[in-house]
Homo-oligomer: A and B are copies of this chain.
Amino acid sequence: MKNKKRASTIQDVAKAAGVSVSTVSRVLNGKLDVASETQEHILKVINKLGYTSNLAARSMRSHKKNLIGLVVPDIGFPYSIEIMKGVNRAIAESKFDLLLYTTGDVQKNGTALHEQHYVSLLNNSITDGVLIVASAAAEFITNSPIVAVDPHVINPHYPSVQGMNYQGAQEVMEYLIGLGHRRIGFISGRPEIGSAVRRLKGYRDSLTNAGIEVDEELIKPGDFTQKNGYTNACELLKMENPPTAIFAANDQSAFGVIQAAEDMGIRIPNDLSVVGFDNITEAKYIGLTTIDQFLEEMGYVAMQMLIKLINGEPLEVEVYKMQTKLLLRTSCQELTPVA
């Protein structure tokens, strides 16, 4: 079973068919100056040998590869999954195939440098273009087409699709303040992520605009995970003067908050209002009020932009801003004044 029978090459095919490699290559690439009998014969041989062309060799020589690279920090994250669904849809409608690249561990490797490395890797080699998700990215983009979803910098020098994080956060805050909440906790995302920073700013500015002083005690550093949401919520809820509402920077953190409240016997929404951000699939079932930023659609639009870029077509907009929408569910309630 350990026979190292190496895969057959175009040379093998040529030899077996009794023609030159050039001719086989022509058949492979659908060139028309090949006699139809020859073509049929070669195809038969290809099939018999189970030959498939070597992607590496082809990419090196030729320049169209019908392959698009997608770089995401972690495919396990609901955030990534939603975007991937949209990407997938756009790919299905196109002639391109998708090559997804991930480092597998966002905590360890997810640095700008690391991701930039992958982008170059794909770009310089086997793909026609790259879609990069939620990343500080690519200073050294040379020639190849690239589009970013939620880039960390707000004005990258390549096209991007961006969620309206600042406005979305403001929408949430206006809603909560409208319900009468004054002490509103905030669980942030990792500070090196652009969208997290913008959501935090939306939180702060909204408070200020409403004439409410920002209490730094109510702002917790987070990392977008449920576990972190849990521990931060515990701290917030154990305060002497605890918040009456918590705005988590993403849905997963919000799930942690809900879990914490449950464990501490705090009722939602009666004793505590909770809002998330992202509207991942699970949010619907939990009844979490959250901001829908249409992640699936973002992936879809971004991929369409990238394909245009690859085809040399002009882009309508360089920065596509995706609308957000506040989805009211059952995790919030008007603040009942203490009797």
Is A97 positioned at the interface, with any CB of B under 8 Å from its CB? yes
Are A52's CB and B5's CB within 8 A? no
> So how many copies of this chain end up in the complex?
2
Are A120's CB and B285's CB within 8 A? no
Alpha-carbon separation in the docked complex, A292 to B270 (Å):
34
Is A75 positioned at the interface, with any CB of B under 8 Å from its CB? yes
Are B50's CB and A54's CB within 8 A? no
Given the contacts A56-B57, A60-B57, A99-B99, A75 and B104 also touching, CB distance less than 8 Å? no
Is A266 positioned at the interface, with any CB of B under 8 Å from its CB? no
Is A88 positioned at the interface, with any CB of B under 8 Å from its CB? yes
Are A75's CB and B52's CB within 8 A? no
Alpha-carbon separation in the docked complex, A76 to B4 (Å):
36
With CB as the reference atom, state the residue of chain B lying closest to A284: B285
Type the 1/0 row for A66-106, where 1 means its CB is closer than 8 Å to any CB of B. 00000000111000010011001101101001111111110
Is A206 positioned at the interface, with any CB of B under 8 Å from its CB? no
Interface size range on A against B: 35 or more
Secondary structure of the A side of the interface?
Answer: mixed
Are A103's CB and B99's CB within 8 A? no
Given the contacts A6-B143, A54-B60, A140-B50, A91 and B120 also touching, CB distance less than 8 Å? no
- Can you name 19 extra interface pairs (CB under 8 A) apart from A54-B60, A75-B98, A88-B104? A5-B142, A50-B120, A50-B139, A50-B140, A54-B124, A55-B122, A57-B125, A76-B88, A91-B102, A91-B104, A97-B102, A97-B103, A97-B118, A98-B102, A98-B104, A99-B100, A126-B126, A284-B285, A285-B285
